[in-house]
Structure 1
Amino acid sequence: MTTQDALEAIGLKDVVYRQLRAARRAAAVVGCLRTEVKNNALQQMAAAVWSARAEVLDANARDIDAAKTAGQPASRIDRLQLTETRLSTILEGLQQVASLPDPVGDVLDAFVRPNGLFVEQVRVPMGVVAMIYESRPNVTVDGAGLCLKTGNAVVLRGSRESLESNRALVRALRSGLQAAGLPEDAVQLVEGGREAVDIILQARGFVDLAIPRGGAGLIARVVEQAKVPVIETGVGNCHVYVDTAADLEQATAIVMNAKTQRPSVCNAAETLLVHEEVALAWLPVVLRALEARGVEVRACPRTQELLQAGGAGLATAVALASQEDFATEFLDLVLAVRTVKSLEEALDHIAEYGTKHSEVIVTEDAAAAETFLRQVDAAAVYHNASSRFTDGFEFGFGAEIGISTQKLHARGPMGLRELTSYKYLVRGNGQIRS
């Protein structure tokens, strides 16, 4: 019986709850596994996906064709697309997860009470983790790998756009679990529309943690609808501020990388802030380079004046930026630009429009850099480096379950430790409380 047949035969809620119960049973098994058993399973999962790569890429091609037919923008299609190279990189992350230390069982604290009780605070798995995400199928593999390593079962609910890709990936991941002698239900794909998401989010007692990954609409809906705990992964309206003391050649390289290396992801830059003392000389240089890469620029009135005065030599006129542009995560080859009078004005702009994801200052002034690093409220704050490094793989976490922009429990790229909780193990010899 296909999943769709099952949905129609017994109802969506029953299907989802059967999956959640199976995930709970699987979590009880994988939560007690030795590290070497989990690492072997991760290796088996990576091997199974690679062996099935033709099937996976064929499925992805069907998703891509459907997205193009539906008129999806190029940026969304890029987020959806898998190639053999991208798949190899994803599986490299899975291999790296296998090589990382296992946080489960780590003793965070230990002490003896005056009455002789020996108390240990120990890392433990969360249990059942639900991933609610949009079109990036790499999340399917990253989520499965990180959750297994930390002894969690994962329930995956990707978007309709990536359904064929996710089906193929999950089939391969489950076959890897089977080859390792572990319960396949530790990794499951939930199908169904928004109703399926609502069922997951309201499944108290079955889901221990929900993690949304996607646009502002998806994240807001999960946060508002959830009755289970949620880690909010945020939208990336990221800024690069080029200070008066910047190395301008370095600034050009950082801006180009942050905006154009992969514009469809959350750690790409969306707004460029430039100190007015360097704007006249430097802006024409960087904007010509951006134009050559196909970037549409929308600038504040002051920036437009400077470009007209300096003769930017651009092939197309620079559009006037609106307030909405400065608040938008474009996820495309579009960049808002504002000229500011001071570091303080740049900080004020970021405080107003930033989404607490990733922010960059380019400067050789150590004092200005420290002010920026300390005052900017974001998960990752950079001095003289591209925002594109806000990534679990780049941070050495193997992969990431998401990038948290909240402050409770986890912040920034979330790797293995962020998928654990802790409990207290208390050992006595007959103590009773008087």
Structure 2
Amino acid sequence: MHILDELAKRDLIQQTTDDEGLRKHLDKNVVTLYCGFDPTADSLHIGHLLPVLMLKRFQQAGHRPIALIGGGTGMIGDPSGRSTERVLNSAEIVKGFSESIKEQLAGLLNFDQGENSAVARNNHEWLSTMTIIDFLRDIGKHFSINYMLAKDSVESRLENGISFTEFSYMMLQSIDFLNLYEKENCTLQIGGSDQWGGNITAGMELIRRKQFEKEEDEAEVFGLTVPLITKSDGTKFGKTAGGAIWLDPEKTTPYEFYQFWINTDDRDVLKFIKYFTFISFEEIEALESELKEAPEKRIPHKRLAEEMTKLVHGEEALQQAKKITEALFSGDLASLNAAEIEQGFKDVPSVAIDNKEIGLVDLLVEAGISSSKRQAREDITNGAIYINGVRNQEVTHQLTETDRIEDKFTIIRHGKKKHFLIRF
């Protein structure tokens, strides 16, 4: 199947500048394409996954992807999709963010695949050496104020105000396409739909104007965007009560990452499978049937969670996430090791206890699980207290080494759902 046909079947194409021209261009060339990622944090989040995986899809189709890290544009800030000015980070912070993101991209794209190996570039390389005179004479003269004011990324900000710094962002981003076209023969830029008017088409226009200036034939360059990801329940994709879902396992654990996908709404799960996974269309049809026939089994949700966790964090992290999930479901918490406890109980109330030989009643009071010793005794005798998933009704019980997982943790459950992590 042609790469464009597959993308269309997965509903991954929002806009293209010239569908037929791009199709012919892809048929006769190993096309170099790029997508930009500004380093606004020390990690990518799942909102970045769709364009990264688009690069991966093109690479699997035999083309050459460039992951462009915006070490230069990240010093300025993209006004697209924002109502207020960005807070500018220092050069040192942006540099650190850029290195972290480069490492993450290397884990998602194949940087060792011969002719179409993915490469990473950083626009700080060419933007930081450009003088203001060069910028105004060589780039600025190709952009009319009227043209720039008409772009959505600028027009939407005029009421609240936009600085010249962010106003100039589309020109800087256009330089990226020009530079990659001239030095890497890059002829296709992809991005989110919010990048269309202010950035992608502006870059194509700059290339064409430069070609005209040099009296060269008009360049064959193209743009393609992916759709904005929406959720059926109206909430923002990639956000939870705990914040963004990051690709860095230190910021979002593999277990949390797995849980995010497995909790996908029934109305969204098949769409997300098409968007984010490389599962065949035949299997997607089978998963659709499973969803209709036995929605309570959540088979497509589990498949989505498995594919995404393995893709981002690897097989070992996936198996660990599944093990934690199963242990929490069955109540067999003693089967978990300390690292798995850290993941699975990251967000539950946590209390540090110095005394390892503490009585259960005293522990419940000290940890704030029960309001008093009298209440603690009632909770225990009523069967409301579980130690590492096992009910304990002994008021005189003393916690010992056998109650501690790797001598570090004890999980106390109060009632059906309230968990507390005791750290020794």
Task: Tell me which of the two structures has the higher relative contact order, counting C-alpha pairs closer than 8 angstroms and 6 or more residues apart.
Answer: 1
* Rg (Cα) greater in structure: 2
Q: What TM-score does the superposition give when structure 2 sets the normalisation length?
A: 0.28
Q: What TM-score does the superposition give when structure 1 sets the normalisation length?
A: 0.28
